[in-house]
Amino acid sequence: MIYLDYSATTPVDSRVVDMMTPYFSASFGNPSSVHRYGQVAEAAIDSARETVASVLNCSPEEIIFTSCGSESDNLAIRGAAYAMREKTGAKRILASRAEHPAVTKTLLHLEKYEGFLIDWLAVDEYGMITPQAVSKAINDNTALVSVMYANNEIGTINPIKEIAEICKAKDVLFHTDAVQAAAYLPIDVQALGLDMMSLGAHKFYGPKGVGALYVRKGTPLVSHLTGGGQEFSLRAGTQNVPYIVGFAEALRLTNEERDQRVTHVKPLRDQIIGVVLETIPDSRLTGHLESRLPHHASFAFKDVDGNLLLTLLDAAGFACSSGSACKTGNPEPSEVMNAIGLSRDWGLGSLRVTLGVHTTPADVDSFLNVLPGLIQKARMLK
Amino acid sequence: MTKVVVAMSGGVDSSVAAALLKEQGYDVIGMMLRLWSEPGKEDSNRCCTPDSMAQARRVAAKLDIPFYVIDAKSVFRETVVQYFLDGYARGETPNPCLICNRQIRWTFLLDHALALGADFMATGHYVRIQKAEGGRINLLRAVDRSKDQSYVLHVLNQEKLARALFPVGDYPKTEIRAIAEKHGLPTAARKDSQDLCFLAGEDYRNFLQRNAAEMLKPGEILTRDGRSIGEHNGLANYTIGQRKGLGIASLVPLYVLGKNSATNTLIVGTQEELGSRELTARDVNWLSGEIPGEPFPAEVKIRYTAKEAEALVTPINGNQAQVQFDAPQRDITAGQAAVFFQGDVMLGGGIII
């Protein structure tokens, strides 16, 4: 089997596993405890927080560890929405139509149950949000703007630095979901000018089940997981010490090796895009050609059942994913496919190929050898 | 390694089929079809509820085989459900499972299996196959006659039989349960229901009311000699041999003898008038691929649940067959299949006219 789905998740780096291992049984203390066991665990978390803070160029108190990227998005959006409504009465939230469900579903929830009003920003055909569109849409009642750094399905990178500048000028909070971006893009929160940023470890060779939220000092935020005073009283619950340690080490390595990783995947990714568009009829790239994640290739094929294509690929030994993938055989084009204006006959035929540190040129060659034939098979079966 | 796709349902039979093939050294892939359901009733299609899908997925994980779900909603609606509606519109009592086996399982799914590189496709049907002389492949009744499902598979042909494996047909049901237990597979079969999967557990009349109300036109109820004795509420609501629900006061019980869709009339009569010694079948499929040259004696089954009866079968007019029973048969119903056996061998069958 050849794994070409690194945007879904990545294998945990063995160096990360080594760092985590002592904190399961040997140093198992509860960081909140007064005794030595607790002190050792607390020290591990403090050190992890410092590591993350140094990568993000912020202070350790601005890092909140969570259970995943989705939880980080929830904390940022719900927390800021409640706090801003309390503080200023603002109850509009601005977000792009191509966000991850962790953002869109949270917003729909706030709209349905909490009376917030959501302004959905249309994206262009590449799935991109322009700073101008954000600028036009912000009004006095806007509590928060949330625009993802890079799109999970189509890889497009948004101009979040420019969007952050606009939000700052208009005195509106800005959150970005950087779960997909963190593996490859700079995440210096000062340089980017962000108020909040969500991260998840398993996208950059860390473990599943741990995430973090950067929250700029002074950002009004209400906790939504209430209980003990952990994580500066913003996220109750005994900290997951080994996973937090793993998060920090994975992020540190990613930061250190970022350039090498980009240099490794980008030419292979470019080869995939070039060959697919050249050799497969009725195919198109989804997302932006230049402003996209370097390991990410995504396509739409006309009159192909994307789900079936994944099945054929898997049976042939290649693990990929699709925007319309569905384990119950009930495919629908994803919101992102709709948002970039793809018709149903294209939108159902999406394919995402994402590379990583273990991808070899031989993997890519053999993938490109089988794909055209499988597309043809999928079209014949339709 | 020989690759085989197993059509899985989450039930005990197809789960054991997969387990047996794996044990026999095949490279096994599990597949399941997502079939059509009425909008809003997606969770009630007996053949692919979320529950049975989860069950099949767990079985596949237990057997350590890949598992895929294939979307067959639109092809199922266009072929099977349409056939069902068309049959009732013609005044017949259709059996859509036959079309499902021919068009969905053994065409649509088989094509997908072959596209995945499979050499064979297997199902959990209780039937057997046997290589006969001259390279011909026979479809045989199951060892466990009480579970035999060859009736719905008379629609296959030599080309499909050459790709077919039916691992459970060699075992009695009790043994299948024991094998399931041995492998730690789910042993609770779903209820053996005669209901059609897309009826979502309801009476077919409700389905027709919702999806083809225009075919339910009231008309006259006639005796065999043409006397009008009442009104029916749409021919599709009745089936041959039906006694209940006629709504006619009569000294003796009355039964549905026939339906005339040209005149939209329902013919009823007494128990003595039921039954016939002969039938004609259309669209007859001969599993050997050759039309028999002359009349032959056979055991004939006129419904999935009917007992087989001795008869003489005469091929006529290309793809029709005339069946002359030794004794009169009750409830010969247009739209159901009549299938022919000699011993354990399924010879073929067609749709009763």
B349: pLDDT confidence band, cut at 50, 70 and 90?
very high
pLDDT of residue A330: 74
Subunit contact B117:A305, Cβ cutoff 8 A: no
pLDDT of residue B191: 55
pLDDT of residue B59: 94
Are the beta carbons of B232 and B220 closer than 8 angstroms? yes
What is the Cα A34 distance to its own chain's centre? 36
Q: Where are the domains of chain A?
A: 2-7+258-381, 14-254
Q: Which of B229, B256, B273 is the last residue of a domain?
A: B273
Q: Where are the alpha helices (DSSP H) in chain B?
A: 12-23, 50-63, 73-76, 82-89, 96-99, 110-115, 158-161, 173-182, 204-211
Cβ within 8 Å of residue A301, ≥6 positions away = A280, A282, A283, A309, A346, A349, A350, A351, A375, A378, A379
Subunit contact B71:A314, Cβ cutoff 8 A: no
pLDDT of residue A324: 61
Are the beta carbons of B15 and B123 closer than 8 angstroms? no
B317: pLDDT confidence band, cut at 50, 70 and 90?
confident
What letter does residue A157 receive in the DSSP assignment?
Answer: B
Which of B48, B69, B115 is opposite residue A381, by nearest beta carbon?
B115
CA-based angle A348:B68:B5, to the nearest 5?
Answer: 130
**Which chain A residues have a beta carbon less than 8 Å from that of B115?**
312, 377-378, 380-381
Q: Same structural domain for residues B39 and B127?
A: yes
Q: Same structural domain for residues B102 and B172?
A: yes
Q: Same structural domain for residues B158 and B247?
A: no
Of B250, B212, B255, the closest CA to residue B234 belongs to B212
- Interface with chain A: mutation pick from B29, B32, B34, B73, highest number of A CBs within 10 Å: B34
A312, closest residue in chain B (CA to CA): B116
Rounded to a whole number of angstroms, the CA Rg of chain A reads: 21
How far apart, in whole angstroms, are the C-alpha atoms of residue A154 and residue A352? Answer: 8
Pick the CATH number of A14-254 from 3.30.1490.100, 3.40.640.10, 3.90.470.10, 3.30.70.1350: 3.40.640.10
Which residues of B are part of the catalytic machinery?
100, 197
Which of B29, B70, B111 is opposite residue A329, by nearest beta carbon?
B70
Are the beta carbons of A151 and A336 closer than 8 angstroms? yes
Token digits of residue B211: 């999806």
Q: Which of B227, B256, B273 is the last residue of a domain?
A: B273
Q: Where are the alpha helices (DSSP H) in A69-159?
A: 69-88, 101-114, 131-137
What are the E-state strand segments in chain A?
Answer: 2-3, 63-66, 92-96, 117-121, 142-146, 173-177, 196-200, 211-215, 283-285, 296-301, 318-319, 350-354
Subunit contact A329:B48, Cβ cutoff 8 A: yes
How far apart, in whole angstroms, are the C-alpha atoms of residue A341 and residue A6? Answer: 26
Q: Same structural domain for residues B258 and B331?
A: no
Subunit contact B34:A329, Cβ cutoff 8 A: yes
* Model confidence, pTM: 0.90
Subunit contact A315:B66, Cβ cutoff 8 A: yes
pLDDT of residue B186: 75
**Which chain B residues have a beta carbon less than 8 Å from that of A328?**
34, 50, 53, 69
Could you tell me how many residues make up chain B?
353
Q: How many helices and strands, by DSSP H and E, does chain B display?
A: 9, 17
Cα B192 to Cα A198, B12, B38, B47, B189, distances in angstroms:
51, 12, 22, 12, 8
Q: Same structural domain for residues B127 and B139?
A: yes
Q: Same structural domain for residues B97 and B172?
A: yes
Q: Which of B199, B229, B244 is the last residue of a domain?
A: B199
Using the Cα atoms of residue B233, residue B237, residue B238 and residue B242 in order, give the sign of their dihedral.
negative
* B121-133 mean pLDDT: 95
Measure A352 CA to nearest chain B CA, in Å: 18
- A217 against B239, higher pLDDT: A217
Angle between helices A69-88 and A101-114 (to 10 degrees): 40
How far apart, in whole angstroms, are the C-alpha atoms of residue B33 and residue B53? Answer: 9
Cα A223 to Cα A2, A78, A213, A233, distances in angstroms:
42, 8, 12, 7
Q: Same structural domain for residues B325 and B312?
A: yes
Of B304, B234, B306, B307, the closest CA to residue B266 belongs to B234
* B13-19 mean pLDDT: 96
B3, closest residue in chain A (CA to CA): A315
Subunit contact A329:B71, Cβ cutoff 8 A: yes
Domain residues for B240? 216-273
Which of A312, A329, A377 is opposite residue B69, by nearest beta carbon?
A329
pLDDT of residue A326: 66
Which of B32, B57, B71 is opposite residue A331, by nearest beta carbon?
B71
In chain B, the number of structural domains is 3
Are the beta carbons of A363 and A2 closer than 8 angstroms? yes
**Which chain A residues have a beta carbon less than 8 Å from that of B69?**
307, 326-329
Strands B345-352 and B309-316: unpaired
Measure A313 CA to nearest chain B CA, in Å: 9
Measure A350 CA to nearest chain B CA, in Å: 16
Subunit contact B115:A327, Cβ cutoff 8 A: no
Strands B127-131 and B137-141: antiparallel
What is the Cα A161 distance to its own chain's centre? 17
Cα A50 to Cα A40, A43, A181, A245, distances in angstroms:
15, 10, 21, 11
pLDDT of residue B188: 62
B5, closest residue in chain A (CA to CA): A315
How far apart, in whole angstroms, are the C-alpha atoms of residue B166 and residue B168? Answer: 6
**CATH code at position B289:** 2.40.30.10
**CATH code at position B264:** 2.30.30.280
Longest dimension (CA), chain A: 68
Token digits of residue B181: 């237990």
Q: Is B96 helix (H, G, I), strand (E, B) or coil?
A: helix
Q: Is B283 helix (H, G, I), strand (E, B) or coil?
A: strand
Longest dimension (CA), chain B: 69
B45: pLDDT confidence band, cut at 50, 70 and 90?
confident
pLDDT of residue A299: 97
How far apart, in whole angstroms, are the C-alpha atoms of residue B34 and residue B53? Answer: 9
Domain boundaries A2-7+258-381, CATH class? alpha beta
How far apart, in whole angstroms, are the C-alpha atoms of residue B102 and residue B85? Answer: 17
Neighbouring CB atoms inside 10 A of B43's CB total: 11
Of A138, A131, A139, A121, the closest CA to residue A160 belongs to A131
Subunit contact B73:A330, Cβ cutoff 8 A: yes
Give the pLDDT confidence of B99-116 residue by residue, as tens digits: 999 999 999 999 999 999
**Which chain A residues have a beta carbon less than 8 Å from that of B32?**
329
A330, closest residue in chain B (CA to CA): B71
- Interface with chain A: mutation pick from B112, B114, B121, highest number of A CBs within 10 Å: B112
Count how many pairs of residues, chain A against chain B, have C-beta atoms within 8 Å: 48
**Which residue numbers of B have CB closer than 8 Å to A's CBs?**
29, 32-34, 42, 48, 50, 53, 57, 66, 68-73, 111-112, 115-117
- Residue A233 zone, left/alpha/beta (φ > 0; ψ -120 to 50; rest): left
pLDDT of residue A40: 97
| pLDDT over 90 percentage in chain B | 71
Q: What is the mean pLDDT of chain B?
A: 92
Give the pLDDT confidence of B136-146 residue by residue, as tens digits: 999 999 998 99
Residue B204 lies in a domain: no
Residue type, B106: W
Q: Same structural domain for residues B226 and B131?
A: no
Subunit contact A329:B112, Cβ cutoff 8 A: no
- Interface with chain B: mutation pick from A304, A308, A309, A311, highest number of B CBs within 10 Å: A311
Are the beta carbons of A197 and A213 closer than 8 angstroms? yes
Measure A22 CA to nearest chain B CA, in Å: 32
pLDDT of residue B41: 78
Residue B46 lies in a domain: yes
Q: Same structural domain for residues B280 and B267?
A: no
Q: Is the pLDDT of residue B290 over 70?
A: yes
Are the beta carbons of A100 and A153 closer than 8 angstroms? no
> How large is the ipTM?
0.85
* B129-135 mean pLDDT: 91
**Which residue numbers of A have CB closer than 8 Å to B's CBs?**
305, 307-308, 311-312, 314-316, 326-331, 377-378, 380-381
Are the beta carbons of B86 and B295 closer than 8 angstroms? no
What letter does residue B328 receive in the DSSP assignment?
Answer: E
Per-residue pLDDT of chain A (382 residues; tens, 9 = 90+): 999 999 999 999 999 999 999 999 999 999 999 999 999 999 999 999 999 999 999 999 999 999 999 999 999 999 999 999 999 999 999 999 999 999 999 999 999 999 999 999 999 999 999 999 999 999 999 999 999 999 999 999 999 999 999 999 999 999 999 999 999 999 999 999 999 999 999 999 999 999 999 999 999 999 999 999 999 999 999 999 999 999 999 999 999 999 999 999 999 999 999 999 999 999 999 999 999 999 999 999 999 999 999 999 999 999 999 876 666 777 788 999 999 999 999 999 999 999 999 999 999 999 999 999 999 999 999 8
**CATH code at position B30:** 3.40.50.620
Burial class (CB in 10 A: 0-12, 13-18, 19+), B206: exposed
Q: Same structural domain for residues B178 and B64?
A: yes
Subunit contact A328:B69, Cβ cutoff 8 A: yes
Residue B232 lies in a domain: yes
pLDDT of residue B193: 52
pLDDT of residue B187: 65
Of B350, B351, B303, B349, the closest CA to residue B329 belongs to B303
**Which chain A residues have a beta carbon less than 8 Å from that of B48?**
329
Of B192, B149, B158, the closest CA to residue B339 belongs to B149
Q: Same structural domain for residues B169 and B106?
A: yes
What letter does residue A130 receive in the DSSP assignment?
Answer: P
Token digits of residue B336: 């159901």
Q: Is the pLDDT of residue B190 over 60?
A: no
Give the pLDDT confidence of B70-101 residue by residue, as tens digits: 999 999 999 999 999 999 998 899 999 999 99
Q: How many CA atoms lie within 13 A of B125 on its CB side?
A: 23
Subunit contact A312:B116, Cβ cutoff 8 A: yes
Active-site choice (A58, A167, A320, A326): A326
A326 is catalytic: yes
Subunit contact B34:A328, Cβ cutoff 8 A: yes
Subunit contact B42:A330, Cβ cutoff 8 A: yes
B189: pLDDT confidence band, cut at 50, 70 and 90?
low
Q: Same structural domain for residues B268 and B293?
A: no
* DSSP symbols for B113-163: HHHTT-SEEE---SEEEEE-GGG-EEEEE-SSGGG--GGGGTT--HHHHTT
How far apart, in whole angstroms, are the C-alpha atoms of residue B26 and residue B32? Answer: 18
How far apart, in whole angstroms, are the C-alpha atoms of residue A324 and residue B262? Answer: 47
pLDDT of residue B37: 87
Residue type, A147: V
